[in-house]
């Protein structure tokens, strides 16, 4: 049984200060954790709310001397580079340290990274998050943890700062599998809201009133509540990048294929996202799916 004895004085390393990672790191720093930070562009390390943290030139430097290293980067290759690249964290990780990977990656890669780090007696936990930039800023993310309840209890002081709900799923990779299911639901709900709004506008309905009514009934969803106004305004402030969600759907579809399943709705949404990316919407919020609904010319 691990005994990390974590407290707000436990030194942490944090790698990946993007739209989700930066507010998470800020919340950990606000909570009193001594923090070493690194991000590929280096710019976000200078954020005013991280003043007093230690800025590191490499993942290897970031991992040195910290009890827990957190990673929040874009994909499998980014995590691999952070951990095992020429300047990777594995070069300075030592027995007893733990890596909490908040990134969304494939379950198979999570298992591989765990196996590789176990050779150094370093614990790797996959802990993908959901809740968008809003949840990251508010510290209200939901976290799916690929670890048993014993490990979950050990890292709870950190998770409590990041989110208000977290669930353990016993084994490495299981957190990523649950996140894949989450992204399937996100895909369907965003696409449905986009189509519903397109129809309502085509019918010249008072859409703000329509949406208020829909939120009170069985059609209510997170996407309807939090992204319908963006779709109405045709303006898509970043909550979660389209290209990252597209990557997540690729993971979900591959996971389904390996389980002998076909997911036609998810596949269709992935196709819609691919078309939008060709039109240059890579960095827009996923709610830009509204742009995929074209009006038929009669």
- For the cut 70, the answer to whether the pLDDT of residue 232 exceeds it is yes
* Same-domain status, 83 and 205: no
Query: In whole angstroms, what is the distance from residue 142 CA to residue 146 CA?
Result: 13
Q: pTM of the prediction?
A: 0.93
Which of 174, 179, 241, 247 is catalytic? The answer is: 179
Give the pLDDT of residue 1.
Answer: 41
pLDDT tens digits, residue range 179-215? 999 999 999 999 999 999 999 999 999 999 999 999 9
Catalytic status, residue 179: yes
Task: Give residue 69's domain range.
Answer: 12-172
* Same-domain status, 181 and 263: yes
Give the pLDDT of residue 87.
Answer: 97
pLDDT tens digits, residue range 116-168? 999 999 999 999 999 999 999 999 999 999 999 999 999 999 999 999 999 99
Cβ-based burial of 121 (10 A; exposed 0-12, middle 13-18, buried ≥19): exposed
* Same-domain status, 153 and 235: no
- Using a pLDDT cut of 90, give the percent of the chain over it: 93
Element (DSSP H or E) covering residue 126:
strand 123-126
Q: How many structural domains is the chain composed of?
A: 2
> Is residue 253 included in any domain, yes or no?
yes
* Same-domain status, 51 and 143: yes
Residues recorded for the chain? 298
CATH number at residue 242: 1.10.1040.10
> Is residue 279 included in any domain, yes or no?
yes
pLDDT tens digits, residue range 238-283? 889 999 999 999 999 999 999 999 999 999 999 999 999 999 999 9
Residue-averaged pLDDT of the chain:
94
């Amino acid at each position: 049984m691990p005994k990390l004895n974590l407290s707000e004085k436990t030194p942490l390393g944090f790698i990946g200060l993007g739209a989700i990672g930066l507010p998470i790191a800020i919340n950990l720093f606000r909570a009193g954790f001594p923090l070493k930070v690194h991000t590929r562009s280096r710019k976000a390390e200078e954020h005013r709310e991280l003043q007093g943290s230690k800025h590191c030139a490499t993942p290897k430097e970031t991992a040195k001397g910290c009890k827990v290293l957190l990673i929040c980067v874009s994909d499998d290759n980014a995590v691999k580079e952070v951990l095992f690249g020429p300047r990777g964290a594995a070069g300075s990780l030592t027995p007893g340290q733990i890596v909490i990977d908040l990134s969304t990656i494939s379950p198979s890669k999570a298992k591989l990274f765990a196996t590789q780090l176990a050779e150094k007696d370093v614990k790797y936990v996959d802990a993908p998050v959901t809740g968008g930039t809003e949840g990251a800023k508010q510290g209200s993310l939901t976290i799916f943890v690929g670890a048993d309840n014993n490990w979950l209890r050990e890292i709870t002081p950190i998770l409590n700062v990041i989110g208000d709900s977290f669930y353990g799923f016993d084994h490495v990779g299981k957190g990523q599998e649950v996140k894949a299911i989450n992204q399937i639901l996100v895909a369907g709900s965003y696409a449905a809201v986009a189509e519903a709004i397109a129809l309502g506008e085509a019918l010249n309905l008072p859409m703000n009133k329509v949406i208020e009514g829909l939120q009170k009934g069985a059609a209510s969803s997170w996407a309807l509540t939090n992204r319908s106004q963006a779709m109405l305004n045709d303006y898509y402030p970043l909550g979660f990048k389209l290209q990252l969600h597209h990557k997540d759907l690729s993971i979900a579809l591959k996971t389904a294929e390996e389980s002998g399943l076909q997911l036609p709705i998810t596949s269709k949404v992935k196709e819609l996202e691919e078309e939008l990316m060709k039109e240059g919407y890579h960095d827009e919020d996923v709610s830009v799916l509204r742009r995929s609904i074209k009006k038929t010319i009669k």
